[in-house]
Structure 1
Amino acid sequence: MRKVSFAVFGGPEVLRLVDAEEPHAGPGQIRVAVRAAGVNPVDWRIREGQFQEAHPVELPSGVGLDAAGVVDEVGAGIEGVEVGDHVFGEGSSTYAEFAVLSAWIHMPEGLTFEEAAGYPSVMETALRVIHEVGVRPGQTLLVSGASGGVGSAVLQIARDRGIRVIGTAGATNQDYLRDLGAVATPYGEGWVERVRRLGRVDAALDLAGSGVIRELVELTGDPRKVVSIADLGAPEFGVRFSGVAGSVPEALAETVGLISRGRLHIPVERSYTLAEAAKAHTDSQAGHTRGRRVIVI
């Protein structure tokens, strides 16, 4: 089968499309014929070796955590899923024609493979950081970098829970944030004062890693009310860096529930082929995403 792999840590250029042996489902796992794989910032952070100390990767390594596809192998001890079922979930080395998933759920009616591939890690992360930052219904959450995949999920989860959101993003994404229920304001000089004029901020999330931790602490008045998923230097300000995944099965179940109720939709901004994985990473690192990027097999 074909899969994307890297043998050394580095930039997008280290990614290679190679021929590899097909993986097989072990106990508690399933294998899918991948139809689409989600592109997440964690993918290129792993490729660069940023998480090597906390989560070592053995080289050469595949790429990707999220996938949607057709079940074609079921491991021992698995019930409730059969060969031929359409599922999406999380596993490893998902930029490939076949991948093994350790957490999955059946795709709800009307969801495409491309759309489904964009949800697993994004929703797990969004649900986790909303919990960790401790924001409650009726309070105001400031989201820095609100137009990407995680931001899009956070805004819609917050809206469903009765949490007011102030979202920052580029000038071209202001209407997008408003459509998702946020009070939108652009990046750039004077953004802190613009946020102040929009009212009290009870908690804040840094989703872009754009060097705003100090300002988020200033706006909330408490570093314990700020969580970052993108700035490894956040702990220097007393801010929590959230990098340990919670329950993926629970996140997938909540995802399907929100989609089924018409309360969640994250658009696919752009699709790539396996051969374009390096371009997908380059674009992901550049930021300014509106929704999700996926690789289509």
Structure 2
Amino acid sequence: MEQVLIARQASSLGLNPSMSETKTIWGETGNFDAIELTAITDPQARVNALIAGDMHMISDVDAKMIKLIERSDGVSINSTKSGRYGGVCILKNTAPGNNPDFVKGMQLIQDRERIVRSILKGKGEVGNDHPISTAYGADHCYELPQRQYDPEKTKYHIKKSGISSAELYVAEVATGIGDSCLLMQNNLKKIGFDLKIKKVPTDGYWGAVWMKEPLNVVSWNMRPTANSMLDIQFAPGAAWNDTFWNNERMGKLLKMNLAETNPAIRHEMFCEMQALVNMFSGMVISYHTNVNDGVSDNIHGIPVNPLGSIGGCTWPEFAWMEA
């Protein structure tokens, strides 16, 4: 029996499901007799399992371990450009996020180029404090000026805010998020601001911390369209509006954009929405990371899909194993 073994960062309810091929009304699809998914939460352990041949594929390879896989025989990295990102949520409905100068200071202290170069090992791109990366193609607003790392402007806005310290809750929910927050903390320290980092476990994070603590980290996968990404996170009153930023103009643009058939006008709308998020929301998005998966060299046919790990989770239909 041809069975493929996959290690993921997490598996629903802590289960390790094993699936066998079933003939259904959908006809012939898939090339494996069986698939087994295993949850290995430790990033190093996942990589070790791949290199040792215990797993055929692993998802969410830590950037620090990409070089190790690239140097190892029989395995390789699948790196796909994506809109996936890790960011900092600053809640706008409470202090200190209800102070626009504080938010602006947190955005201006991001050393974005260094994050992509040193933390992501080049497997990503700089962010501009909105979720629509260049992976969204024509819907990305290339015209919007890129926010730059500027300690002096940060110092100005922080002083104007009257805030001298804050606490950021950090769990390793996204590639590079922990290291990027430490870099942020160090850069703020240089200008006299005390950013306390409270490390918390990933278990229970989404229920206990996200959208509850005034400063917390977040991870978002890319959505199929720019409108759906902006709507789910930034529509006024949306259930997952994780900075509690409510902007009437944003809500109108999201609806108007869906009805607009002129590509040029749609692009103008997308640019305005990205500018609104960039200037007025509580999001700090300093980088977008590629989807990085580790794959055995005898596995072929994984589709290029930026929406999630291992071909956007569509690989069982297309992949095959070389004997």
Q: TM-score, normalised by structure 1?
A: 0.31
More strand, by proportion: 1
Structure 1 or 2, whichever has the larger Rg, is 2
